[in-house]
Amino acid sequence: MAKALALAEKAYALGEFPVGAVIADDEGAIIGEGYNLREANASPLGHAEITAIEKAAGLLKNRRLDLCTIYVTLEPCLMCAGAIMQARLKRLVYGAYAPKTGAVTSVVGVYDFPFGYKPMVRGGVLETDCSALLSKFGEDLRSDIRENPLEETNGQV
């Protein structure tokens, strides 16, 4: 999780929503990693989990990551929870809970539905550290809006 948090800090430094993800194989070797790049890539699919899954699957040349664990700094959204399911990841470990978008426990428990597959899940790992970075990003964003109120609306009132 510490590596995922370091990746989230990279996203933060780029002005991206600070989420990082790491995939480790059954021996603990990192085989995929990513951080949010939605703004940089102008892509709604630029989530940390999606990038990490694509890299791991590419390295293994296999769409099934059934012996792997994904560590992510924020509870996955519905899209990422679905991607985790499609990749057949064995375990999901996440840090902060996402009370507005979390699809694992916060808003909806997507793995509670009878899809035929669900990973083992553990939330709240390094939650304080993960939450602190997200809170700092939010404070920075609110501060920027207060300092430059017309930029958010392109000068329109």
Catalytic residues: 49
Q: Containing H/E element for 33?
A: strand 30-35
Which among 148, 66, 86, 78 has a CA at the least distance from the CA of 107?
78
Question: How far is Cα 120 from Cα 4, in angstroms, rounded to an integer?
Answer: 18
Distance, CA of 93 to CA of 95 (rounded, Å) = 7
Q: Is 154 left (phi over 0), alpha (psi -120 to 50) or beta?
A: left
